[in-house]
Amino acid sequence: MFTGIVSGLGTIRSISPMGASADMRVVIEAPWDDLASVVMGASIACSGCCLTVVALGRDTFAVDASAETLSKTTLGNWRPGTRVNLERALKLGDELGGHIVAGHVDGVGQAISATPENGSVRWCFRMPRDLAKFIAPKGSVSIEGVSLTVNEVSAEEFGVNIIPHTASVTGFAMLKPGDTVNIEIDMLARYVARLAEFR
């Protein structure tokens, strides 16, 4: 489990196919001083996608991404040099600064626009139609692994505000309208909607 509070920007160092399959081994350069504390098998959210550490280097860790993951997330667009939002798994007793994030991407959305608004930037995103019912004003959503509060919703589009600090420590500083993003809906919204089906 994660909180959607990004703890560092990583850089894709290499991507290589795994045998004859469509799966890929991805080596990510991590910015953490305490990378030695990461253990084999640990879960790390990489731009919102929970991946398992399968190898460790001095300043890198490697993960395997299945063909299914590559096809259902933005990971298939990664190239050497791509910057990715990183968050290590939540520990009991850690501060829960965002919201509960599973690292299970629900769909790929698209950045529509970015408009300066006072001291922040209002980003508008288009989401897959089947996720629209789970997004509510003042609810939570994870975009590229970043916990955000929804400001407004209109059909299949919603808006969030990105403050300068968030932009400086996440990939939002490099995001452009037209880019695709990983979206994870709020877990609570998913279960409330499921329960409503049985009313």
Span between the terminal Cα atoms of the chain, in Å: 30
The confidence band for 11, taking pLDDT boundaries of 50, 70 and 90, is: very high
Whether residue 17 is contained in a domain is answered as yes
Query: Is the same domain home to 119 and 56?
Result: no
Per-residue pLDDT at 110: 98
Per-residue pLDDT at 90: 85
Which of 60, 88, 116 corresponds to the end of one domain?
A: 88
Q: Is the pLDDT of residue 194 over 90?
A: no
Look at residues 64, 39, 33, 37 and name the one whose alpha carbon lies nearest to residue 51: 64
Per-residue pLDDT at 188: 81
The alpha-carbon radius of gyration of the chain (Å, integer) is 17
Q: Could you report the per-residue pLDDT of 98-140, keeping only the tens digit for each? A: 888 999 999 999 999 999 999 999 999 999 999 998 999 999 9
Residue with tokens 């919102």: 48
Whether residue 1 is contained in a domain is answered as no
Query: Is the same domain home to 71 and 120?
Result: no
The DSSP-derived string for 161-198 is EE-HHHHHHSGGGT--TT-EEEEEE-HHHHHHHHHHTT
Mean pLDDT of the chain: 92
Task: Please tell me which residue, 188 or 119, carries the higher pLDDT value.
Answer: 119
User: Which percentage of the chain shows pLDDT scores above 70?
Assistant: 99
Per-residue pLDDT at 185: 94
Determine the structural domain holding residue 26 and report its residue range: 8-88
Which of 27, 58, 88 corresponds to the end of one domain?
A: 88
Query: Is the same domain home to 150 and 115?
Result: yes
How many residues can be counted in the chain?
199
Q: Is the pLDDT of residue 38 over 80?
A: yes
- CA–CA separation, 104 vs 112, rounded Å? 23
Q: Is the pLDDT of residue 93 over 90?
A: no
Q: Could you report the per-residue pLDDT of 135-183, keeping only the tens digit for each? A: 999 999 999 999 999 999 999 999 999 999 999 999 999 999 999 999 9
Which of 61, 88, 115 corresponds to the end of one domain?
A: 88
- CATH number of the structural domain spanning residue 142: 2.40.30.20
Query: Is the same domain home to 114 and 82?
Result: no
The confidence band for 196, taking pLDDT boundaries of 50, 70 and 90, is: confident
